[in-house]
Structures are given as C-alpha cells and as structure tokens.
Structure 1
Amino acid sequence: MVGMAGLWNWSAAERIEPERVRNALAGALERPVAELVEGQPDALLCDVYHVGGDFPTVIDVYLAPDSVAEETAASAVAVRLGVAVLVPDDTLNPSRYVCADPDGTLRPVHVEERETAEGAERRHVRPCTGADPACAAHPGCHRSRWRPVAAPERPAA
C-alpha cells in the first residue's frame, strides 16, 4: 500500500451528490474510494456533506496518499466535477486557500468563513493580491509557495 498523508478537507462550489464526488476522486487518483462506513481494503475513505455558503459541498478524504500533492488531486477533481474546489494553503492565515478552478488552474484566494452547526460556510472568494486586508491581518501570504497575484492595472481614464 502506498504511504498515506492523512486528511484532505476541501469545499466545492456547487451542491454535488456524494457518489459523483467519490467517482471524480477515484478517477483522479486511479484507486477505489469508499464511504466512511464501507471500509473497503485499500480504498480511500471519503465523507461528503453539505453546508450553506458559496462552497456548499464539503469533501473530507481520509487516508489520503502522500504520493500525490493535495493541490494536484484537487485540481484533477475540479476538472472532473466542472466546479471550483477550495483547498487549504500552506500559510496559517485562516482566510487563505488555494482555489482549483474547473479548468485545472490553481490560484491563491481569500474566503470569508463562518462556523455553523452544519460545518464551516465559505463565502465571498476573492483573489489574494497581497493588498487584501486579509493579507495584512495574518502573516504568510508573501511567504507562501502560492504567492499573491497582483491585480491587473486599471486603464487610465
């Protein structure tokens, strides 16, 4: 069995049925994916549930392989699902994520997050430009491997 990295916790930008998520994950990683209760040998375990917000599908992958970068796997799943997927980034900034777009592009973003009884709701995704107030509130954006992307200059009037 390939080494396991632990837990991946993602959010998808549409309400997606759990079976469709597990199928996309299985296709992206070329291995079986089971519900938490099934416990198939050598299968990744995946819990999918729904919350409010702009990213209402929460995807928890247990026993995630350490042979694939989390962002790479999320990008492949985003392409298969045709929706954006948020992945925690490498900073300690609680509002900062890497967004895997439906075309496979990976980019740093900031998100407003609110805890509810159902789980964390994520809303108002915006690019991490380095000038966002969320960048200044917590150190790390400029030290991340996912560097802020400056906003394009506005044309002169």
Structure 2
Amino acid sequence: MTLYTFLTAHHPSPEAVAEALAEVVGVTAGEVDVSDGTDDHRDWEAPVLCDCTALTGDLALSWDVRVAPDVEPAPPAEPEAALRLAALLGTAVLRPADGVRPSAYWAATPDGISTRARVLEGDTDGDGPPDLTVDAVEEPVGHFPRARVRPIPEAGQDW
C-alpha cells in the first residue's frame, strides 16, 4: 500500500482533489473516494481513499491518502506526487520530511520547485481545526509571503 500525507495552501473541492489524485496515481476520478469526515457514505473498496481535514493559518487542508497495493503501474513516490499535485492544483503542497523534527516539511510549488519548509502549530482550544504557520522556507514560496527565507538545518542540528 502507498501512503501519502500532504498539506495544501488552498482548499480545493473534493472533486478537484479526486481528479488530481486520479491523474497522479493513474486511476479514474471515480476510483478515488474523498471524504472530509462529514459524510457517512464511503466507497471503502475504492483503490484510492483520501481523508481531508480543514486547517487554519497558512495551510488550508490536510490530506491522508491510501493507495491500494494492486494499483498498476505503481504510484509515484511522495516527492513526485507532491510536485504533480502542486502543478495540477496550482497550490503549494507540503509533505513531511524524514527525520526527528515534526516541524520539518518539503514544499512543492506549482512551478516545480521543491524546498524545505518549517511548519509550526499554533495554540488552539481543541475545538477548532489546527492552526498551522509556515514559519520558514529555504526558497521563497509565493503562497507563504510571511515565511522567513533562510537555511533550515537538517535533523539533529540547532535551529
């Protein structure tokens, strides 16, 4: 099974999410089930399942995607999938970076740039959606104009 975790700067419609995932993974939009948690009618047999959660702050939507192991050809690796989704949806797509820092991400832009990013979670009262801020990026990303542009150390190094 292929698993993807993404955060997007914009909140595309469920239909746009399904169409973009279908193109990236190589299935039809009808084979992608997208849920925002408010519907009880899921197609649990769909080859691609996507659970979306609304966010606040610099990021609008969190995606958890599961692709069935029998999808052929094999779906792209997460870095390539993020770049393709960014281009298709016209929005920055973030994916978690490997390492020990939960704030470490890679940002893919619609124009094909992939750059390190640091995401911080703000204070929430627990009732609303998570509030996420893109605090820093290594290269400018138009969707995050308030983010500081600076080198972001690898895991294990001091900020």
Which of 26, 33, 55 matches 1:30? 26
Aligned residues: 132
Gaps (5+ residues) in structure 1?
142-157
Distance 1:93 1:103, change over 3 A: same
Matches within 5 A, 1:50-65: 50-63=54-67
Give the superposition deviation at 1:121.
Answer: 2.9
For residue 21 of structure 1, give the secondary structure of its aligned residue in structure 2: helix
Give the superposition deviation at 1:47.
Answer: 1.4
Would the aligned equivalents of 2:107 and 2:115 in 1 still touch at CA under 8 Å? yes
Query: 4+ residue runs of structure 1 moved beyond 3 angstroms?
Result: 63-67, 114-120
Gaps (5+ residues) in structure 2?
36-41, 139-149
Would the aligned equivalents of 1:81 and 1:102 in 2 still touch at CA under 8 Å? yes
Which of 87, 91, 96 matches 1:83? 91
For residue 57 of structure 2, give the secondary structure of its aligned residue in structure 1: coil
Aligned to 1:13: 9
Matches within 5 A, 1:82-121: 82-114=90-122, 116-121=126-131
| Identity in percent | 30
* Cα RMSD (Å): 2.5
Aligned to 1:124: 134
Distance 1:118 1:8, change over 3 A: farther
Distance 1:14 1:64, change over 3 A: farther
Would the aligned equivalents of 1:9 and 1:58 in 2 still touch at CA under 8 Å? yes
Work out whether 1:40 is the aligned partner of 2:45.
yes
CA offsets, 1:72-95, max 9 Å, x none?
A: 111101110000011001111111
TM-score by length of 1: 0.71
Amino acid at match of 2:48: L
TM-score by length of 2: 0.70
Moved more, 90-99 or 66-75: 66-75
Q: Distance in 2 between matches of 1:99 and 1:60?
A: 16
